[in-house]
Chain A
């Protein structure tokens, strides 16, 4: 059996009396595309926070390619090859779309300590424009992020995580807020690129249509526990799964 890319072992996280994540174990292999579903508050985002170390688990371990990364924190886990996008986009709101991308590119190429050479270098800038075009944000480059509509911000957030050329990409509701027209075009381009580079992808989704179309494996969360884990088509056909996901919405 090949070593898992991400191995979550009996991870729990409690907030006072609430068990947000309750003794969860999950093993994900390289190149897998896993969709995580569940109602609001079932622990999905908390799980992503725990994997990347933004939150410390109250018990359990997170292992990445054989290395224990439990609680290492976002900076170290990102440096190891995990990247993440957020439910509420985390962007530099006072800067332009282009600047947001440039900063990500500069950091990824190791230039974050450079205080002498200009940020606006032609190779860096063309790479930025290329990325923006791929995500359909090309014409928004000069716009301040604060002026960007919600969907654009979501897409930019995802784009920033992709720039990092991660081994594992974690996405939290990548299409929420994105218009129906753009949803599929963005996801099509994104997912085919991720597949091509065998990036292990884990995304949290509410939209079952997106799940069915892009995920290979589904993991269903309910009240902090995994209640189902298997191929997408099978799982989403099961009535108790549909009830758990849609029932209380």
Chain B
């Protein structure tokens, strides 16, 4: 059996999931220059809320199409509420300080949110496999693949394209680009930087929750799910270069293919290969594939 198509397809679907799950972190870093450790919790909350909505409104028949908009709704809800709340109340006061402080702040938020999740949803896992089973299996070239990951690929592609469109073809996107390139200059040019910060963080939160919500049907939603995803997201985003969405996409593809190859050829090193790839890329280009080094002006 030719494993190459398996590796490619598995790789692409895993890469799509990775992209969905990690693009929020790199976007927020690009705009706010803060590494959002709380991203892991926002991902988890997206998953929990998505699961809750499905159980509430599609409880008896999870295999219906209504579950998909419900997942989207969950992500939007998280993005619109938690995003602005966190940015305005907790993050705003640490801008401009050591980037270490930003990291520690989001780490503190992560700790808090992890317990908040436990307090709200308890520690028993939630299972919402309906949407997953909805997509059944797809036959390609004599091999059966699960159908749901292809949906994820679609969602990730749409999300990526939408993000690209927003950044390049809307006024909001142009302002964001300006802030990313030079915060001070953007303010001097009359851009309402605090408002951009808020909206960017909300968007990043939405993306994190989106990743979580659409992951919910694939695995059991349980405490600590954000933790494992966080480290993966860090690795991918470091490979691609912090702040670069295109870089994140490329990083995801590299990691996806590498992991898929490992799973087929050397299953023991599956986890190891992702970190090894990160170390290898950073050895070659310390700022990541598309990251930039900033030389201080003398």
Contacts and interface: CB of A to CB of B under 8 A. Distances in A.
B151 to A, nearest CB: 44
Interface string A83-94: 000111010000
A45 interface: yes
B139 to A, nearest CB: 53
Interface of B: 295, 298
Contacts of A78: none
Interface of A: 45, 48-49, 54-55, 86-88, 90, 172
Nearest to A52: B298
Contacts of A90: 298
Q: Determine the main DSSP class of A at the interface with B.
A: loop
Contacts of A54: 298
Please give me the 5 A-B residue pairs with the lowest Cβ-Cβ distance, nearest first.
Answer: A86-B298, A49-B298, A54-B298, A45-B298, A87-B298
B3 to A, nearest CB: 46
B197 to A, nearest CB: 26
Nearest to A87: B298
A55 B295 CA distance: 9
Contacts of A86: 298
Contacts of A45: 298
Given A55-B295, A86-B298, 8 more contacts: A45-B298, A48-B298, A49-B298, A54-B298, A87-B298, A88-B298, A90-B298, A172-B298
9 contacts: A48-B298, A49-B298, A54-B298, A55-B295, A86-B298, A87-B298, A88-B298, A90-B298, A172-B298
A90 B298 CA distance: 9
Contacts of B298: 45, 48-49, 54, 86-88, 90, 172
A203 to B, nearest CB: 15
A54 B298 CA distance: 9
B4 to A, nearest CB: 43
Nearest to A54: B298
Contacts of B295: 55
A88 B298 CA distance: 7
Contacts of A48: 298
Nearest to A46: B298
A172 B298 CA distance: 10
A143 to B, nearest CB: 22
Nearest to A88: B298
A49 B298 CA distance: 8
A216 to B, nearest CB: 26
B166 to A, nearest CB: 27
Contacts of A55: 295
A55 B298 CA distance: 10
Contacts of A88: 298
Contacts of A172: 298
B11 to A, nearest CB: 38
A54 B295 CA distance: 9
A238 B298 CA distance: 31
A45 B298 CA distance: 8
A49 B297 CA distance: 10
Nearest to B297: A88
Nearest to A45: B298
